[in-house]
Structure 1
Amino acid sequence: MGGLRRCWRSRISSATGTGPTKPSSSSPVSCAVAPRYAAWIVCWSSRCRAATRTKAPTWPSSRTSPVSCSPTGRSTNAGTADFPPSCCTGSARAASTGIPSNRFRASKVSEVGPRIIVALDYADAAPALDLATRLDPAHCRVKVGKQLFTRAGPDIVERLQARGFTVFLDLKFHDIPNTVAGACRAAAELGVWMVNVHASGGRRMMEAAREAVAAVAEPPLLIAVTVLTSLAREDLREIGVVAEAQELVARLATLAHACGLDGVVCSPKELRALAAALPPAFLRVTPGVRPAGADADDQARVATPADAIADGAHYLVVGRPITAAADPAAALRAIETQLAGARGASA
C-alpha cells in the first residue's frame, strides 16, 4: 500500500510540477498533493496514456481576452433547437481569440443526445454495472462520483463507456491551481464527456482547469459547481456566507463564464436567476430533480423535471428516483414522458 501511495505522489508531482512531498517521519506516507480520487486518475492515466498525449496551445487568460457570445450560428435543426448553439461553446471562445476551433468539443454541446444523467451513487462497481445493463445509453448518460470512482478507479469509466454510455465524471475538483490542472487533464484523458470543478476555487484555479482540458485531443465539457444543493440558508450562515443562495450562485456562475468554462451545476431554484445573468447557451446542469410526489431525500432545493426544463436546465441529474426504483428503465421512461410534455406545452 505504501508503494502505491508513493506512486500516486510521484505521478501527481510529475503532472502538476509541484515536486514530491517528503512525509514526516512520525506519520504514515500519504498523498498530500491531491485527494485520493485525483491520484487514481493521474497515476493510471500517466501510465497508460503517456504515449498518446498531445499538446495544444494554451488559451489566453480571460483577464485579457474577455469571453464573448455571438448571437449568430444557432442550429436550425429541430432536434437540437433547445440545445445551446456551438457558437457559444468553449471551442467558439477559442476561435474568437485566434485558436483553432475544436470540433469535438463543439459537438459535445450541440449533439442530439439524452438530457437525463443518471447518478450512479454506489459504493462499488457491481451494482453500478448491474444498473447499466438495465438502462439504454440512447436514453440517458451516467454520472460517476467520488465514492464509486475512489473504490473502482478509472476501470469503471471504461466499462461504462464500453457499454455505450457517455460519462460525467463528477469529482468536483477543488485545490490549488496546479493540482486541479493535473487532475483535470488526467480526467480528460479518460475520454469522459463532462468533468467539473468547484467555482469557489477561484479564477486562477478555473483558468488552470480550462487550459488543462484544452490540451488534450478530445477535451470534455468543463463545468463548475456553484452552491451544493444540500446547503440550506442555515448551512450557509454557519460557514459565514451572508448572501442568499441565489445571489451566491449567480456570482460564482458569472465568474465561471468569465473563466471560459462551458457551464455550471446549479439547483432548480437558481435557474431563472442564471437565465437573467448569463447567455442562454451557458450550460446549466441541474441536480435536485424529483418527479412529482417523490421524496426530496437530502436535497434542500428541488423541483420536478418539467419545471427544471421550463426554467432553462440543459441537463438533469437524477439519482434515487431511477436507481432505487423497482424498474429503473420504467422510471427513466416516466421522466422522459414528463420532459416531452413540458416541451410540448412550451412549443
Structure 2
Amino acid sequence: MSKKSVFEEIVNPQLKKIVPYLPGPMTKDIAAKYEMDPARVIKLSSNENPLGVPPLAKARIIEMAGEASLYPDAEARELRGALAQYVNMRPENIVVGPGSSSLMMHIIEVFSLPGDEVVFTSPAFGSFYEEITLARGRTPVKVSLEENFDLDVVKLKKALTQRSRVVFITRPNNPTSKLVPLKDLKEILQAAEAVKAIVVSDEAYVEFADPHTSALEFFYEMGEGINLLVTRTFSKAFGLADVRLGYCVGPAHAIAYLSKAKPKWGTGMLAQSAGVAALKDKEHLQRTLEVVRKGREYLHRELGRLGLKMVDAPQGNY
C-alpha cells in the first residue's frame, strides 16, 4: 500500500466535495474537433461579445505592450477614476481585480469566517458560487428558484440564519436571464442586515438590462451605511473576456478591507489601460447593446413561435 502524500494529508477536505465548473469549449477546439474553419464557428456557450474587442481598447493594448516588463499601478488610479465617472461614484468606492469572479472570492474571505454560510440561488452561474464557498471552508446554502425561474423572496429570507454572512444575487441571472426587481432586492438587503449579512449583486450582464435596474440605485439613495456590494465585469458588454478585468462597488470602508485582501499587482497595466479605453469607446458599447438586444428579441419571438416555453422579459445577452 502506497504512502499517502503530505498533500493528501493536509488538503482542505471541502475541496473533495466540489464538482468543478466546466467552462464552454474554446472556438479553436470546436473547429479542430469538427475540422471546420474557426471563422464559421458561432459560439454561444460563454456569452462572449459578438463584436469582439472595442477598437480603442485594442489599439491601447498594442500601444502598452512595450511596458509589459514593468509592474502596474497597484492602486489602478486611472481606471478607478474612469469607473467612478461611469457609475457615478467616488474612486474610493471602487476596487478592481482580474475578473469579477476573483473579487467574489475575496468578498467571502474578507466578510465571513470558516463555517459561516454563503447563500445563493440555484440555478445561477453554474457551480461557481458553491465552488468558491467550499474552497474557503464556508457552508453553501442553495435557494432554488421557482418553476418559472422567479426568486421567491420569502423563501430566500427564511434561508437566512445567524450564521449567514454573504448573499449572492445574480442580476440578471445566468442562465435564466431574469432580473430580481429592486423592490425585492431591498427586502433581501433588510433581511440580511438583520442577521449581520451582506448582499452581493452580481451584475456581469447589467449593461444588457433595462435602464435604472442596477443595485447601484441603492447607493445613491442610502449612502455609505448600506450592506451592499455590486460586482461587474469587462468580459461581456465591453468585450474584454481574455483581459480578465472586473470591479466591485461598495461603501468606502468595505472597499478598503477588500483592497487589503487582494494581491497588490493582480491587475496588469494592459488590463487597466484596456479598461479605460473600453469605457471611452461608447460607440462600440452602443453597437454591442443594439446587436444583442435585437438578436435577443428575435430569438425570443421566433423560438416562441415554435411552441417553446420562453422566459418572460429576458434581460441578459442570452
TM-score (norm 1): 0.30
**How high is the TM-score relative to the length of structure 2?**
0.32
Higher relative contact order (CA 8 A, sep 6+): 2
